[in-house]
Structure 1
Amino acid sequence: MDGTKREQIYPGLQVFIVLKQDQRSGKLTKGIVKDVLTKSPFHHHGIKVRLESGEIGRVKEIIP
């Protein structure tokens, strides 16, 4: 599942995100969502979240 719909993203969910500095390389970072930062219901690049580690990025994949 991709992370473009806000309704699918919630605290405690395990996801892969892309950090701002990794956007060119596409390197993904695994973590658990702490806060959902995007207010709109949809974002084509992925919903922006803060992980429990403090890292901020856009959700690229939801881990089932």
Structure 2
Amino acid sequence: MTKSGQERKNIKPGMEVDIVLKQDQRTGKTTRGIVKDLLTKSPNHPHGIKVRLADGQVGRVVEIIEKS
């Protein structure tokens, strides 16, 4: 079960997510990581909430990885 990354309320620091980095937007290649900061201020965004991962990479959340 995965949640969409378009709503800010679904995303919290420490969660595991798949993001698309700016340079990967054309290909749609995703990068998995742990959320450090939420960068989008609005409650939702059609392309996904922008976050900074623990390793410093910035991108838009495509998918939230649910721990089973």
Per the shorter chain, which TM-score range? over 0.9
- Between structures 1 and 2, the one with greater strand share: 2
Alignment of 1:55 with 2:57, yes or no, is yes
Q: Offset of 1:2 from its aligned partner?
A: 1.1
Q: SS of 2:4's equivalent?
A: coil
Task: List structure 1 runs of 4+ shifted beyond 3 angstroms.
Answer: none
The alignment's C-alpha RMSD in Å is 0.3
Identity across matched positions, percent: 66
Q: How many residues align?
A: 64
TM-score, normalising length: structure 2: 0.93
Alignment of 1:40 with 2:42, yes or no, is yes
TM-score, normalising length: structure 1: 0.99
Structure 2: gaps of 5 or more residues: none
